[in-house]
């Protein structure tokens, strides 16, 4: 048996973080326990968790410091409140029935503990390490988290130490604002006027990138912060190279032209997936978008139906094409964006047809009131998906 638990409890500088593994003495956890107990490295000496000297908890628990201990003051924090907090949490888990009593002689626990060098309050060190250990044990035995929770939270969560969020397109529909004006300062001013919403995507337009180069994406990031940014490179060749360019400048997505060769598109999608950013394919002037998609080994994340008014007079409307693509690739996770002539008056029709991203340029960027123009679309696209987020842990 091999169980894993983790928990973060408290506030800095006494904050406690525990990584824990539990298992039988005869298995890999027992082997790791024995090996770790005999491994005395400078500043990371493992020690048995004891409630007081000469009274270890059972199952036997090994406390392993995460941070290098450099002096006697920090050693006392580990060999005192942290060690006692871990030991008491284990003992209480047995008393409360969380750990079955009939396994205490057969199991061992390895508990990796973080104690900040600046921590001073011994009571908080004890309390936080007690709480983190107890929660880790509960989570290990409950096999927390479930895969369902991981998949639900992975695009909603923000790591507190990282300090920024990586936006993902997990809850369409969205409003994508095409920043096509080849004027960096004016574009930055437009971004500051856009209402903050999880529904907003910013597009570094082709004219802007052609004038300033791919580095303009990073320039926009300084203003846009956590907003999802698409680099509209309209890649026609060297798919991998252009994805790398966008990635290095912090783009969340990059756009290739559907007119590119099959080989270029496949390399483009592969590289985007490898780097963890979105692959958009713009079907402007592509006679048969479905045929292009069927030829690819891997589907792009987003298909843009970029069709002008003249095109629609003689053939299928975008709305009909959206339905066909959705029906044809219903087992995939492909999103459909619509661009060209999108106004508040036709957003409802696009949404009813199944569009996931409304791509709007001049209606917003050349408006005298950027905020108001943006809200005309957002009121139809939907509420900010973060409005009812509840902290539960």
- Cβ atoms of residues 356 and 173 within 8 Å: yes
Q: What is the overall mean pLDDT for the chain?
A: 90
Within this chain, do residues 113 and 220 fall inside the same structural domain, yes or no?
no
Residues 111 and 227 in one domain: no
Asked if pLDDT for residue 116 goes beyond 60, the answer is: yes
Position 376 scores a pLDDT of: 95
Q: Are residues 189 and 334 in the same domain?
A: yes
211 is a domain residue: yes
Least confident interval from 20-34, 213-227, 296-310: 296-310
Mean pLDDT of the 377-385 span? 82
Task: Say if CB 204 and CB 251 are below 8 A apart.
Answer: yes
Residue 78 confidence class, pLDDT cut points 50, 70, 90: confident
Domain range for 39 is: 2-150
Q: Are residues 312 and 357 in the same domain?
A: yes
How far, CA to CA in Å, does 153 sit from each of 50, 135, 165, 196, 276? 36, 19, 13, 21, 17
The C-alpha atoms of residue 15 and residue 128 are separated, in whole angstroms, by 6
If asked whether residues 47 and 196 sit together in one domain, one would say no
Residue 84 lies in a domain: yes
Average pLDDT over residues 319-345: 89
361 or 167, which is more confident? 361
Total-model pTM: 0.78
Same domain, yes or no, for 193 and 320? yes
Q: What is the pLDDT of residue 126?
A: 96
Looking at the structure, tell me whether residues 238 and 373 fall in a common domain.
yes
Say yes or no to pLDDT of 391 above 50: no
**CATH code of 233's domain:** 3.20.20.70
pLDDT tens digits for range 153-189: 887 777 777 767 788 888 899 999 999 999 999 999 9
Cα separation, 376 vs 370, in Å, equals 10
| 159 belongs to a structural domain | no
Same domain, 235 and 90: no
Question: In the predicted model, is pLDDT for residue 310 greater than 50?
Answer: no
Instruction: Clarify whether residues 36 and 108 are in a common domain.
Output: yes
Both 190 and 321 in one domain: the answer is: yes
Catalytic annotation, residues? 17
CATH number, position 56: 3.30.230.60
Which range among 106-120, 141-155, 245-259 shows the weakest confidence by mean pLDDT? 141-155
In a domain? residue 389: no
Residues 146, 180 share a domain: no
Instruction: Please indicate, yes or no, if residue 167 is contained in any of the structural domains.
Output: no
Q: Let me know whether 122 and 221 are in one domain.
A: no
In angstroms, how far is the first alpha carbon of the chain from the final one?
Answer: 27
Rounded average pLDDT over 378-391: 66
Q: 166 lies in a domain? A: no
Of 261, 265, 262, nearest to 280 by C-alpha is: 265
pLDDT at 385: 57
Domains contained in the chain, number: 2
Question: Given 95, 115, 150, which residue is the final one in a domain?
Answer: 150
């Amino acid at each position: 048996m091999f169980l894993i638990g983790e928990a973060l409890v408290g506030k800095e500088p006494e904050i406690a973080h525990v990584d824990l593994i539990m298992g039988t003495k005869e298995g890999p956890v027992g082997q790791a326990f024995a090996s770790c107990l005999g491994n005395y490295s400078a500043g990371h000496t493992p020690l048995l968790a004891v409630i007081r000297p000469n009274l270890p908890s059972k199952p036997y628990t090994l406390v392993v410091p995460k941070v290098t201990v450099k002096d006697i003051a920090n050693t006392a924090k580990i060999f005192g409140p942290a060690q006692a907090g871990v030991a008491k949490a284990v003992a209480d888990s047995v008393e409360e029935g969380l750990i079955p009593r009939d396994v205490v002689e057969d199991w061992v626990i390895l508990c990796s503990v973080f104690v900040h060098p600046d921590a001073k309050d011994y009571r908080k060190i004890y309390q936080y390490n007690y709480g983190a250990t107890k929660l880790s044990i509960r989570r290990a035995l409950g096999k927390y988290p479930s895969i369902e929770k991981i998949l639900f939270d992975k695009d909603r969560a923000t790591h507190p130490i990282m300090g920024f969020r990586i936006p993902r397109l997990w809850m369409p529909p969205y409003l994508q604002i095409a920043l096509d004006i080849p004027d960096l300062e004016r574009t930055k001013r437009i971004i500051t006027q856009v209402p903050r919403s999880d529904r907003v995507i910013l597009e570094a337009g082709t004219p802007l990138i052609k004038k300033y180069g791919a580095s303009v994406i990073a320039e926009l990031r300084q203003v846009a912060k956590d907003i999802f940014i698409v680099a509209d490179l309209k890649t026609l060749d060297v798919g991998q190279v252009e994805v790398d360019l966008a990635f290095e400048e912090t783009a969340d997505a990059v756009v290739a032209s559907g007119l590119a060769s099959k080989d270029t598109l496949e390399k483009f999608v592969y590289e985007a997936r490898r780097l963890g950013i979105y692959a958009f394919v713009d079907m402007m002037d592509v006679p048969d978008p479905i045929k292009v998609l069927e030829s690819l080994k891997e589907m792009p994340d987003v298909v843009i139906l970029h069709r002008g008014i003249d095109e629609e007079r003689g053939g299928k409307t975008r709305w009909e094409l959206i339905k066909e693509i959705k029906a044809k690739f219903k087992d995939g996770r492909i999103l459909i964006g619509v661009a060209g002539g999108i106004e508040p008056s036709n957003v409802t029709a696009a949404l009813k047809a199944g569009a996931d991203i409304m791509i709007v340029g001049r209606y917003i960027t050349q408006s005298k009131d950027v905020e108001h123009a943006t809200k005309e679309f957002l009121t139809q696209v939907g509420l900010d998906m973060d409005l009812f987020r509840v902290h539960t842990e």
